[in-house]
Structure 1
Amino acid sequence: MENVITSQRLFMLLIIIVVGMLLYLLGPILSPFLVGALLAYLTDPLADRLEVAGVSRTSAVVIVFVILTTIVTLLVLLFIPKLSHQIQVMIKQVPAVIALFEEKAVPAIQAYLGDGVSFGDLQSFKNLIASHWEKTGDIMAQIASGLTRSGLAVVGWIANLLLIPVVTFYLLRDWDVMMEKIAHLLPRNIEPIVSRWAKESDEVLGAFIKGQLLVMLALGCVYAVGLWLVGLDLALLLGMLAGLASIVPYMGFIVGIFAAGIAAYLQFHDPIILMWVAAVFAVGQALEGMVLTPLMVGDKIGLHPVAVIFAIMAGGQLFGFVGVLIALPVAAVIMVFLRHVHDGYKSSHLYGPQALAEQTEDELPQAQDIDVNEKR
């Protein structure tokens, strides 16, 4: 029996190593497949609900696919051009921000801490930004020029872009069937454990992706609409930036109110506008705490924000864009694994005599029952 278990462990370890090597070697062509798998994973619950309501699986997938395509098309047509324009506007305002810091903040800080405090040569930095913002704002033109010079790169980029919806459609249609077949392929003695771990990993990952990311998106929309009502030119860019920064608790509020306050002051030159900006972010924080987080995340335990940041950066460093796509699923599995390792360690003799004593107390009634049965 021990030889069988050892062989199974070696076999599973070999599969993990082979999969890791394939991810590393086939990384350049895996991006559309992984993006399609991520979209299928996110939209599978909606397809399941439609199926429960009496819609066939294929019809449910078509409905979900149409909704997803419509959302992506609206994002590309409506928001991407505006974001690109606002990024260029923001780059143009960088010298003005430096000048504001030099004229307002530096004297106040030096008055409080003393004249010995130095912030370096701000004028040289301002001149450097002013002389290079045109190149920075023309990034898309440079990318388009580079792609035009390489016809093969253009063909590959278009092929990958068109492959994503195809992969998403077929994976979404056969998602439940594939999960069932994978479960049947597992060795029978470890299938219950792997299935339980997979369910826990799905709960962890779902609590973050289907919960926290929805909260971030909702906060970004709230901040963008609020800043737009205030009249800020960079409302969409700063609102989405604050929503993305909300991955870390209170970070979106701090980053957003600071950046929006500077942009509003540079645009209106009126300190009263800062009160309206503060009101927008105060409303956003109240909605997050009382409505968004309880409704979309609830009491689920997802990935810690620091773990998410580390996982994404580590995945990008090791496997590039493919690593970024697989970072969160791998982090969810590792988190579940570490949780079980932690529970095993707390109940082992390595943790201390108390754990061993508690384990002995738990086993004592069972041993007494066995002795009684033997005497009978």
Structure 2
Amino acid sequence: MTITHNNRWLWLVALFLIGWLIYQLSPILSPFLVGILLAYLGDPLVDRLERWKLSRTWGVILVFTLFTLLCLLLLLVLVPMLGKQLMHLYELAPLGLDWLQLTALPWVQAQFGLDEDFWRVDQLKSAFSANLGSTKDVVAIILSQATASSIALLAWLANLLLVPVVCFYLLRDWDLIMAKLRTLLPRRREDAVMSLMRECHEVIGAFLRGQLLVMLALAVVYSAGLMLVGVELGLLIGVLAGLASIVPYMGFVVGIGAAVIAVLFQFGLELYPLLGVAAVFTVGQMMEGMLLTPLLVGDRIGLHPVAVIFAVLAGGQLFGFTGVLLALPVAAVIMVLLRHVHDLYKLSDLYAEPPADPPRQP
């Protein structure tokens, strides 16, 4: 009994030390975590290429080439388009303030009996408009700040260049690393631990690979649909709605709200653009519920939307960007462990029915 008690304390101390190390090393962990994430996502593709009689190294090179082409396409096509739409949104902001000042806020004042000077939107508008002409100086300001702190710039560039290096070597040796880690498992507990790890792998893999593909597909559907309707900010709204789809129904709420506001500013109260926006998001929701989620994700995740939100916020609060990267995989593993703890609790004496009273003798 003493040995078991001491072992438990050793495990608790080891977990505490691991958490402390992650917290202390969080400023430099981001490129390694991104590399691990990319290697984890790319390993099935390399394994499939290996089954097609391609060597591991050439499979990694092929996957890397594909990923590099996608990144270049993103940088050369999508990023400039999003940048233009962000600038257009920045220029439309004074019109939104006009609508607030002249229409929405006076209605609220009349309903609640507020003073006329309760809202000071005119000051906000004048300050915003005064800075509107300085948007061309943003690049110069960024460059001046970057050159002023050259060490920080070099560190950022080093971390950026470190990601593909870490990803390449991890992806090439992924199977060997997993095999060596398996040899370190206790022999008597190997089957149980491997079963638990396979379940964690299913949950994490289904979420990371499946949900990312769902987000990408929804972003394409929403962006293409809104641009066909004629919404000027369609690409920006579609991408934001796709990113927000990491939480079920959040993308629909964020996207349709932003799209309706954009349509009202652009077209006024015209009926057909509003119907077009409703049709786009209805089709997107139908595709997500009936096709994308069942096909790409399945029902193996089991992460509640509130748990997803809490995990991301908690990870960011505790460990910054590193915590955001770790949040969902750690939450998935905790969910699997809690599921097994729940099963053990149901089998324990603590949960068992109380013993029946013996029948009284007459």
TM range (shorter): 0.7 to 0.9
Say whether 1:78 aligns with 2:70.
Answer: no
Q: Would you say the 8 A contact 2:308–2:328 is kept in 1?
A: yes
Task: Quote the offset at 1:66 in angstroms.
Answer: 0.9
Is there any run of 5+ residues in structure 2 with no aligned partner, and where?
357-362
2:136 and 2:241 map into 1 onto residues whose CA distance is: 21
**CA spacing shift, 1:61–1:256, aligned 2, 3 Å:** same
Question: Is the 2:105–2:119 contact (alpha carbons within 8 Å) kept by the matching residues of 1?
Answer: no
Distance in structure 2 (CA, Å) of the matches to 1:131 and 1:15:
56
Alignment partner of 1:163 is 2:162: yes
Are the equivalent residues in 1 in contact too, given 2:247–2:308 (CA < 8 A)? no
1:189 and 1:10 map into 2 onto residues whose CA distance is 20
User: Is the 1:61–1:169 contact (alpha carbons within 8 Å) kept by the matching residues of 2?
Assistant: yes
TM-score normalised to the size of structure 2? 0.88
Deviation at 1:50?
1.3
Pair 1:116 & 2:113 matched:
yes
Q: CA deviation at 1:140?
A: 5.4
Matches within 5 A, 1:170-249: 170-249=169-248
Contact 1:91 1:137 in 2 (8 A): no
CA distance in 2, matches of 1:332, 1:250: 20
Q: After alignment, is 86-95 or 203-212 more displaced? A: 86-95
Distance 1:142 1:188 in 2: 59
Give the Cα separation in 2 of the matches to 1:107 and 1:325.
Answer: 44
Moved more, 255-264 or 131-140: 131-140
Deviates more, 1:160-169 or 1:11-20: 11-20
1:141/1:251 Cα in 2 relative to 1: closer, same or farther (>3 Å)?
Answer: farther
Instruction: Give the partner amino acid of 2:159.
Output: N
Aligned to 2:335: 335
Provide the C-alpha distance between the structure 1 equivalents of 2:187 and 2:92, rounded to a whole number of angstroms.
63
Q: How many residues of Structure 1 are paired with residues of Structure 2 in the alignment? A: 353
1:344 aligns with 2:344: yes
Q: Distance in 2 between matches of 1:246 and 1:149?
A: 38
Aligned partners of 2:324 and 2:136: how far apart in 1? Answer: 26
Q: How does 1:1-376 map to 2 (within 5 A)?
A: 2-106=1-105, 114=111, 116=113, 120-132=119-131, 141-269=140-268, 271-272=270-271, 273-351=273-351, 353=353
Residue 18 of structure 1 and its aligned partner are, at CA, apart by 2.6
d(CA) in 2 for partners of 1:57 and 1:306? 40
Tell me the CA shift for residue 349 of structure 1.
3.2
Q: CA RMSD in A?
A: 2.5
Which letter does structure 1 place at the counterpart of 2:293?
T
1:242 offset after TM fit, Å? 0.9
Query: 42-51 or 303-312: which moved more?
Result: 303-312
Question: Counterpart of 1:301 in 2: which secondary structure?
Answer: coil
Deviation at 1:36, TM superposition (A): 0.4
Per-residue CA distance 1:194-221 (angstroms, 9 max, x = gap): 2222211111112211112211111011
- The alignment's TM-score, normalised by the length of structure 1, stands at 0.85
Do the aligned residues in 2 keep the contact of 1:88 with 1:137 (CA within 8 Å)?
A: no
- Deviation of 1:137 (Å): 8.5
- Cα 1:35/1:69, change in 2 over 3 Å: same
Instruction: Give the 3-state SS of the residue equivalent to 1:93 in structure 2.
Output: helix
Residues 55 and 200 of structure 1: CA distance in aligned 2, closer, same or farther (over 3 Å): same
Read off the aligned partner of 2:287 and give its amino acid letter.
L
C-alpha spacing 1:101/1:220, structure 2 compared with 1 (3 Å): same
Secondary structure, aligned partner of 1:351: coil
SS of match in other structure, 1:300: coil
Asked if structure 2 preserves the Cα contact closer than 8 Å seen for 1:308 and 1:328, the reply is yes
1:262–1:95 distance in 2 versus 1, CA, 3 Å: same
Shift of 1:53: 2.1
Could you give the per-residue CA deviations for residues 34-84 of structure 1, whole angstroms, max 9, x where no partner exists? 110000011111111111222111111111111111111211222222222
Give the whole-Å Cα distance in 1 for the aligned partners of 2:187 and 2:314.
34
Asked if structure 2 preserves the Cα contact closer than 8 Å seen for 1:24 and 1:319, the reply is yes
